[in-house]
Amino acid sequence: MNNRLELHDITRTFADGGFQRTILDRLNLKVAEGELVAVMGPSGSGKSTFLSIAGGLLEPTGGEVLIDGKSIIGQDKQALSELRLRKMGFIFQNANLIPYLKVEEQLMLVAKLAGSSKEACAARADELLQKMGLTHRKNAYPHKLSGGERQRVAIARALMNAPAVLFADEPTASLDASRGLEVVAMIAKQVKEQRKSAVMVTHDDRVLPYCDRVFYLEKGKLTEHPV
């Protein structure tokens, strides 16, 4: 089974009042295709830093990040942008939909940026909206959607360019309990069906049964815990 995401000896330090503070300390993680991994930890433990490095948004002080076996470290901004567009999908806690675009247009925009044809974009958008149970909402603007619907649109948008890896940052934070479970169940289902590797940062232990493995990040170290 392929590891679509690998982090090797990831370290992140910064200067704090004349001292070097270590946020991530030689952190290692491999996420196989079809696997959803949860990362938990107290506030300030470095979860956002970890996710930013794994997603190519932040350079580590040391170590290597591999997506589909290729290192993303040391790439220029344009190459990283292309990599994020084609190989990574991001789901944020507040969906981050564009307010003036309809649901279908949110998805089409992502595919157009990647250079897909209009016909291919439309077919892919229709397929994903059907899977997410959103076909009847394709012409709705974000303000007309419920919180759960907005997050389902965000999942569809993240999957639009068939990325290798999905990153979810507190995807249930703005939802009630039942909607939060529904959203994570949807993410887990798509990860399994489409053989993605996925990492979800969360504080919500109710969603852990949907995850294949659970890690805790504390004092710069990542420790696996039983699901």
Average pLDDT over the chain reads: 90
pLDDT at site 47: 92
Cβ contact 198:187 at 8 Å: yes
Cβ contact 59:226 at 8 Å: no
Q: How far is CA 149 from CA 91, 94, 156, 222, in A?
A: 13, 12, 11, 33
Q: Categorise residue 204: left if φ over 0, alpha if ψ from -120 to 50, beta otherwise.
A: beta
Q: What is the reported pTM?
A: 0.90
Task: Count the neighbouring beta carbons within 10 Å of the beta carbon of residue 143.
Answer: 8
pLDDT digits (tens, 9 = 90+) for 81-127: 888 888 999 998 888 899 999 999 999 998 888 777 888 888 989 99
Total of domains in the chain: 1
Cα distance between residue 137 and residue 97, in whole Å:
14
Residue 1 — pLDDT band, cuts 50, 70, 90?
low
Domain with residue 131: its CATH number is 3.40.50.300
pLDDT at site 178: 85
Cβ contact 23:13 at 8 Å: yes
If one compares 81 and 198, the residue with the highest pLDDT of the two is 198
Range of the domain at 24: 3-225
Cα distance between residue 125 and residue 211, in whole Å:
26
pLDDT digits (tens, 9 = 90+) for 13-36: 988 777 888 999 999 999 999 999
If one compares 198 and 74, the residue with the highest pLDDT of the two is 198
Cα distance between residue 205 and residue 177, in whole Å:
11
Cα distance between residue 197 and residue 67, in whole Å:
10
